[in-house]
Amino acid sequence: MKKMFTRIFLFMALLATGQLYAQTETNVDALMQLSAEYAAEWDANQIKVQQYATDNGVAIFQDLPDGRARQIVDIRDGKPVYYTTYNLGAANTTRASELWEGGSSGLNISGEGYDQLGSWDAGHVRKFHQEFTDQGPTRVTAMDGNYATHEHSTHVAGTMVAGGVVPNAKGMAYAGNLKYWQWSQDEAEMAAAAANGLELSNHSYGIGVGWEWNGHSWIWRGNSSISPTEDYKFGFYDSKSRKWDEIAFNAPNYLIVQAAANNRGDGPGSGPAEKDGGADGYDCIVPEGIAKNVMTVGAAKVVWDYSGPDDVLMSSFSGWGPSDDGRIKPDIVGKGVAVYSTVDGNNSAYASMDGTSMSSPNVTGSMALLQKHYQDTHAGDIMRSATLKGLVLHSADEAGDYPGPDYIFGWGLMNTKRAAQIISDDGGQVVIDELVLVGGDLYTRNINVPEGMDNLRVTICWTDPRAIPKSPQLNPRDPMLVNDLDLKIIDAGSTDYFPYKLDPEDPSAAATTDSKNAVDNVESVYIENPEAGTYTIRITHDGSLQGGSQAYSIIISGIEEYTVAPDCSAGMDSPEDGADEVFTNQWFNWIPANYATSYDVYFGTDGGGTVTPTNVFNGESFPTNGFSTLMDPVTTYYLQVVPRNNIGASAGCDDIYSFTTM
């Protein structure tokens, strides 16, 4: 069904001040203009598609014998360009289940009340499936025309929000809401949805690249005039990558999640074009996944109980990086093998599927829990997409042969529990900050690392402006990074610690940390077993900053300092306030205060319970939440406790407790 868009063209200049606005606030005007432009481009392409289909007697939309769906979306150089689903045919693996009711995190997050999660896919979702009506009215909503339901779309939706009527099919955000669209005109709809507040969307499909099995034979979709052996589009930053980066830049609270595709190893193995990924398997991620500002997700096998990198096993099909300019792709991996979820046969139908189509919603649904947790603990504030992406990569479990990121697993296996703990501790002994670097300025921060800390880690992530694609060619190494921020840590002995980076010319090699990273818009410095002391974080930039500034997010863990003053104690633990007949050597114990490292204790017989007592202890510092001292018999004593940390003493802790000795 053809989608109709109202053509609203907004003619306004995007000045430097507008660019800064776009980095920190949703630029509704720019997004609606992009939506109109993309819709017009789609309509023009569909004229070519319809003509091609008529001339060649082919269907525009097809369900293939292997379970995949595809649709012709454009004609380039006389050849059809297809959207193709990435199925071949989850919560324990990413630790999302640890956030649920009864999980070890104690957070009890179900996604209830979260309604800014979206999905674009081959068709519509079977919205009255029992997994979506488990709480009454359906929790999934169609946002476009009257399209047929599709097995793949329903499976993806269930992986994110299925209610758990059948426990093995329980979605990541099992009480959340989902908005869904059929993939026609996706870019126009994404821009409009982001303008209306959408925060996360899943995309388990992409342009058909390299070898494709059509049910009867292998078809190669490469351009032999550019390379007869490899499809240049693998790893290539193209117009699709540019559009998705442009949407993301104008919608800084909106994170696009893209499956890394299943191309690795596809092909007949007989010349001239080699199998996708070649002999070593690298360089087989499609252009959507090469965009800088998306979260590109690979597929690993199930991990029941992570104990180390060897527990994370790669699937046989998931796309591997690098991007042509050497950036770290994929970004993260989730479960993409034997994922059990809803399908559209009837309202109680289920199936198990493989593919990055499955790992991508596994990660997207898990991130919905994190966004909900952040909003619940940060006065309703929305986590910027760069913050969410940086947090997930910062907290990932190590995977692969070497420490640090690689072109197979990206930054590792998503660990939703660890990311949620960082959110919970924000303002305590971890830091999540959203900042702006102005051209010519630098950011410095001194941090304290205690004895015995396992590691110090600092990660920055930013939503980079769109880049200009190179002309079609094989593996251009020109960086697509526009605003190049640089992170390093300096220890007390003036030793510099640089972020991880990878070498596209040697893709299987370990990441290095000997100099700055000039290609990625995620940088992370990791120091194992750091010596105790003061370290300095330094963030600068190379060259000029487009728009004059760049918003970025920073996550810091492994420090002994707080960024907020402590809370007040919630009250006495033992003895109770007002107790009489307490021992003259009574141990006084109060409920520990959040973020406190010590307590200023005021204690005595003076003050009458209305003025701070001082004649025994006048602000004496105690390192723990209790003390004992000898007291006179049959005497009333008063106690006031003020928690303290490196920021200072807590304000407003005015409660005064009274006790009478025997």
Sequence-distant contacts of 276-279: CB under 8 A, at least 24 apart: 276/209, 276/210, 276/211, 276/231, 276/234, 277/234, 277/319, 277/320, 278/230
Each residue of 254-274: pLDDT tens digit?
A: 999 999 999 999 999 887 899
* CATH 3.90.1150.10, domain 572-660, yes or no: no
pTM of the model: 0.85
pLDDT at 561 over 80: no
| 414 band by pLDDT with thresholds 50, 70 and 90 | very high
Rounded Cα distance, 610 and 542, in Å: 59
What's phi and psi for 258, nearest 5 deg? -125, 130
Q: Which of 478 and 305 is assigned the larger pLDDT?
A: 478
Cα 35 to Cα 8: distance, rounded to the nearest angstrom: 9
Question: Residue 457 is encoded by which pair of tokens?
Answer: 């880690």
Query: How many other CB atoms are there within 10 angstroms of residue 305's CB atom?
Result: 6
How far apart, in Å, are the Cα atoms of 226 and each of 273, 331, 473, 475, 584?
Answer: 12, 28, 6, 11, 89
Q: State the average pLDDT over residues 50-64.
A: 95
14 or 363, which is more confident?
Answer: 363
Give the least confident one: 13-22, 70-79, 135-144, 442-451: 13-22
Position 87 confidence tier, pLDDT thresholds 50, 70, 90: confident
CATH topology of domain 16-424: Rossmann fold (3.40.50)
| Token pair recorded at residue 152 | 């793949």
Per-residue pLDDT at 544? 97
Residues 6+ apart with CB under 8 A from 659: 575, 577, 578, 579, 580, 582, 586, 588, 636, 637, 639
pLDDT at 229: 96
Q: Which among 360, 389, 362, 410 is positioned nearest to 205, based on CA atoms?
A: 360
Buried b (16+ CB within 10 A) or exposed e, 620-647: eeeeebebeeebeeeeebbbbbbbbbee
658 near 637, Cβ under 8 Å?
Answer: yes
Furthest CA-CA distance within the chain: 103
Specify the residue for token string 């603990």: 377
CB contact at 8 A, 350 and 163: no
pLDDT higher than threshold 50 for residue 13: no
Q: How much is the pLDDT for 3?
A: 45
What residues does each domain of the chain span?
16-424, 425-557, 572-660
CB 605 within 8 A of CB 613: yes
Backbone φ and ψ of 573, nearest 5°: -95, -50
| CA trace torsion 397, 403, 406, 411 (10° rounding) | 30
- What is the average pLDDT score of the chain? 93
pLDDT of residue 5: 37
CATH code of 425-557, in short, is: 2.60.120.380
- The mean pLDDT value for 530-544 works out to 96
Instruction: For 236, list phi and psi in degrees, rounded to 5.
Output: -90, 130
